[in-house]
């Protein structure tokens, strides 16, 4: 006999009337089980050689909600994957709780008795989802750990040498009716309790949660995975049981010609088969043979380092790691000296990965929407700049969307790829040459060029930018689930998200058959699809040009931007990760002065940030101004000043405070040395208001590092504002010719 199958109790499958041939066959096998067992035992000894796998759990193990649980459940799919050498038993029961005093204790069910009698060589347990019920967790949470340990002991008594795996719970979605009133927080507590049980008992901890967390479309009712999701569980459990995780692998973002941060320990993560010994070896240039290690050797044809095969190398470091039972491994490389080139070689004894021509320097993520994606070939100075874009110290990793979010309906094949987070394409790390730079972010290029010229060490630039995307698409799911869950619900009908964004997404996915079809504009999507490639690639900081798709609601954006910073800093485990952003430029859109000022005020509530002011290089009618060099270089000024401690002015004048004296307003600024009007013109753009709240153009006088403003129409100024038109010709700059930010005094 090949498998033990549960009786099909799906609402979609009446066992007595089911027309599914597979279901009928499965049920016949269940009814004839005693006879078949006797025949098998009498005919041969084959059954004794089989490995028995008992799958214990609730409705998710049973396969509730599928067309036919007897064939669609994860244990049934696992049986097919494992083959005849295994016998898989499905002992799942809908509604079962782990808690003995819960509303439906698993240990009091017939399925539990059958699971014990099965005497599995391996027991896979997935219980706890139903314990989030208000009848259970608030009252009996203290029982969970001892009850789970007692359950494990029961299986060890039935089969003392059995291997036991307990699973972290599969995800619960935000559309669950009790998500905020209990399930979200209680499930988090249960996950920690399961970890404690694994620690106490020495059983294997496996993870159904991470496996499905980035695929909410596979849980249409926010609890039960559809057949495809159950297939993912089955494939994962097979890997756990066999130790086969596909061999030695690194995240896609790791390739030859890449840049790694210098001067600090580096954690490199990957996967391999369970218990595989992974050896990582770092080779560096021979300083004696090369004469220096501060710069890479000149390139030959096709961007390759000249004489790379002949270059002498020395051993820099060698590291060992053993892959866990889940196939995960990591090594911590000792700090690399800036320069290179280095070679990183990885082997598990059977496979070998070699990353050649690797440099050590500064790595920056360039992210945002279309103004960050705006290519160097589209820049105002492209004709002059592109032919000169040959920089041995700069390397580029460009994540381009497979489908641009144009006003079209995407084909079903594209929608399927989106659901599997396969949205970005890339060709690995490349040398910065005219051929590669022309397609790269113009803002990113100008930023990296200034950094490389100033620091004289390698610079790696990673671009992940998508036209029209909102801030919410770049934030991780857990952050939004706990800090802004309302944003995740029915997002294409959600007023927190800009109308245009929702309308464009709905058009793109018009051919979708699922209401949970994924889209790049969906909250969390760009984080999740980007993570699939980046895999926590070490970086030094982020530059960000985005906001156009959130400018309808600056209050929401203020909240989202802080969550974005938190998301980045948690992901890269760096609470001080530098993050420099672009203030929106000038454009005839009424809400933009308010939005620009909200971006300015973010500086006072966020740490390790800086803002590049760009209203002076805007375009009245085009949301994509073509002069990107000032934008990239103003971001670089912030990095050079605040991250690298270089003596440069990072910003134009930033409003500090306002005082009133003699019926005139005196405005003080940071970065105020050399205040003047640009181009030698009189200062424009100031307005004042009195107690009536009516604004009037102001006369302006510069007195050292302060600006005095007044109006004959305002007897006693109460407020001052500057550059408060959507498209403004305001022209206050400092000695570095950097423009002052839009502001309104508080």
pLDDT tens digits for range 545-572: 999 999 999 999 999 999 999 999 999 9
pLDDT tens digits for range 154-178: 999 999 999 999 999 999 999 999 9
The domains of the chain are located at 3-242, 654-744
DSSP class of 702:
E
Question: Does the 3-242 domain belong in CATH 3.40.50.1110?
Answer: yes
Contact at 8 Å (CB) between 293 and 457? no
* Mean pLDDT value across residues 210-217: 98
Percent pLDDT > 90 in the chain is 89
Percent pLDDT > 70 in the chain is 90
Query: Does residue 18 surpass a pLDDT of 50?
Result: no
Q: What is the pTM of this model?
A: 0.91
Please report the pLDDT score of residue 286 as a whole number: 78
* Mean pLDDT value across residues 564-591: 97
Contact at 8 Å (CB) between 468 and 521? yes
Query: Does residue 10 surpass a pLDDT of 50?
Result: no
**SS3 breakdown of the chain: % helix, strand, coil, rounded to 5?**
35, 25, 40
What pLDDT band is residue 746 in, cutting at 50, 70 and 90? confident
Please report the pLDDT score of residue 678 as a whole number: 97
Please report the pLDDT score of residue 652 as a whole number: 98
Alpha helix stretches (DSSP H) within 539-692: 554-571, 592-602, 629-638
What pLDDT band is residue 492 in, cutting at 50, 70 and 90? very high
Please report the pLDDT score of residue 311 as a whole number: 60
* Mean pLDDT value across residues 370-395: 98
Query: Does residue 459 surpass a pLDDT of 70?
Result: yes
What pLDDT band is residue 413 in, cutting at 50, 70 and 90? very high
- C-alpha triplet 554, 408, 546: angle, nearest 5°: 25
pLDDT tens digits for range 216-265: 999 999 999 999 999 999 999 999 999 999 999 999 999 999 999 999 99
Mapping DSSP onto H, E and C, the string for 332-356 reads EECCCCCEEEEEEEEECCCCEEEEE
Please report the pLDDT score of residue 4 as a whole number: 44
* 360 strand-pairing partners: 260, 339
How is 13-31 classified by DSSP, letter by letter?
Answer: --TTT---HHHHHHHHHHH
* Mean pLDDT value across residues 55-68: 97
Query: Does residue 698 surpass a pLDDT of 90?
Result: yes
What pLDDT band is residue 312 in, cutting at 50, 70 and 90? confident
Please report the pLDDT score of residue 668 as a whole number: 97
Query: Does residue 297 surpass a pLDDT of 60?
Result: no
Please report the pLDDT score of residue 680 as a whole number: 93
Q: Which residue has the tokens 């993050």?
A: 579
DSSP class of 725:
S
What pLDDT band is residue 662 in, cutting at 50, 70 and 90? confident
């Amino acid at each position: 006999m090949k498998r033990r199958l549960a009786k099909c109790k799906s609402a979609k499958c009446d066992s007595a009337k089911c027309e599914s041939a597979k279901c009928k066959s499965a049920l016949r096998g269940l009814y004839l089980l005693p006879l078949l067992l006797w025949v098998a035992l009498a005919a041969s000894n084959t059954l004794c050689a089989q490995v028995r796998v008992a799958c214990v759990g609730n409705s998710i193990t049973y396969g509730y909600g599928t067309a036919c649980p007897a064939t669609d459940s994860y244990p049934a799919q696992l049986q097919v994957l494992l083959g005849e050498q295994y016998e898989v038993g499905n002992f799942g029961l809908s509604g079962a709780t782990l808690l003995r005093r819960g509303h439906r204790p698993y240990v009091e069910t017939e399925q539990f008795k059958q699971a014990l009698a099965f005497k599995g060589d391996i027991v896979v347990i997935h219980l706890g989802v139903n314990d989030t019920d208000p009848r259970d967790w608030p009252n009996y949470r203290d029982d969970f750990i001892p009850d789970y340990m007692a359950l494990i002991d029961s299986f060890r008594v039935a089969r003392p040498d059995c291997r036991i795996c307990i699973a972290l719970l599969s995800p619960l979605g935000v559309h669950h009716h009790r998500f905020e009133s209990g399930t979200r927080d209680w499930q988090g507590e249960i996950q920690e309790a399961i970890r404690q049980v694994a620690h106490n008992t020495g059983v294997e901890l496996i993870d159904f949660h991470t496996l499905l967390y980035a695929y909410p479309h596979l849980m249409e009712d926010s609890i039960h995975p559809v057949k495809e999701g159950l297939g993912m569980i089955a494939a994962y459990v097979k890997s756990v049981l066999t130790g086969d995780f596909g061999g030695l692998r690194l995240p896609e973002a790791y390739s030859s010609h890449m840049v790694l941060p210098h001067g600090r320990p580096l954690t490199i993560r990957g996967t391999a088969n369970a218990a595989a010994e992974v050896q990582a070896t770092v080779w560096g240039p021979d300083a004696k043979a090369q004469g220096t290690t501060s710069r890479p050797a000149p390139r030959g044809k096709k961007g390759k380092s000249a004489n790379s095969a002949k270059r002498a190398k020395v051993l820099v470091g060698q590291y060992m790691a053993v892959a866990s039972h889940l196939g995960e491994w990591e090594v911590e490389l000792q700090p690399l000296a800036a320069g290179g080139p280095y070679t990183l070689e990885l082997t598990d004894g059977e496979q070998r990965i070699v990353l050649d021509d690797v440099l050590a320097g500064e790595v920056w993520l360039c992210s945002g929407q279309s103004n960050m994606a705006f290519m160097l070939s589209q820049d105002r100075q492209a004709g002059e700049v592109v032919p000169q874009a040959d920089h041995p110290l700069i390397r580029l990793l460009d994540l381009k969307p497979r489908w641009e979010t144009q006003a079209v309906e995407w084909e079903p094949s594209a929608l399927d790829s989106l659901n599997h987070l396969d949205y970005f394409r890339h060709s690995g790390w490349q040398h910065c040459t005219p051929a590669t730079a022309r397609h790269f972010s113009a803002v990113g290029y100008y930023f990296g060029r200034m950094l490389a010229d100033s620091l004289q060490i390698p610079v790696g630039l990673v671009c992940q930018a998508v036209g029209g995307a909102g801030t919410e698409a770049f934030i991780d799911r857990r952050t939004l689930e706990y800090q802004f869950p309302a944003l995740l619900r029915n997002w294409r009908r959600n007023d927190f998200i800009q109308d245009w964004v929702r309308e464009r997404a709905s058009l793109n996915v018009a051919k979708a058959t699922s209401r949970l079809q994924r889209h790049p504009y969906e909250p969390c999507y760009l984080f999740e699809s980007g993570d699939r490639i980046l895999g926590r690639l070490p970086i030094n900081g982020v530059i960000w040009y985005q906001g156009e798709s959130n400018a309808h609601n600056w209050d929401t954006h203020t909240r989202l931007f802080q969550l974005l910073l938190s998301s980045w800093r948690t992901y890269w485990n760096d609470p001080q990760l530098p993050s420099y952003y672009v203030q929106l430029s000038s454009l005839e859109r009424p809400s933009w002065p308010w939005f620009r000022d909200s971006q300015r005020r973010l500086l006072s509530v966020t740490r390790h940030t800086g803002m590049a002011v760009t209203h002076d290089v805007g375009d009245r009618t085009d949301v994509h101004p073509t002069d990107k060099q000032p934008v990239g270089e103003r971001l670089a000024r912030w990095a050079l000043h605040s991250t690298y401690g270089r003596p440069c002015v990072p910003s134009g004048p930033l409003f500090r405070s306002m005082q009133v004296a003699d019926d005139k307003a005196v405005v003080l600024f940071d970065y105020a040395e050399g205040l003047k009007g640009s181009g030698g013109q009189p200062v424009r753009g100031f307005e004042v208001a009195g107690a009536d709240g009516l604004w009037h153009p102001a006369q302006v006088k510069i007195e050292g590092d302060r600006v005095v403003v007044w109006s004959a129409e305002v007897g006693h100024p109460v407020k001052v504002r500057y550059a408060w038109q959507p498209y403004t010709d305001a022209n206050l700059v400092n000695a570095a010719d950097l423009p002052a930010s839009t502001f309104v005094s508080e």
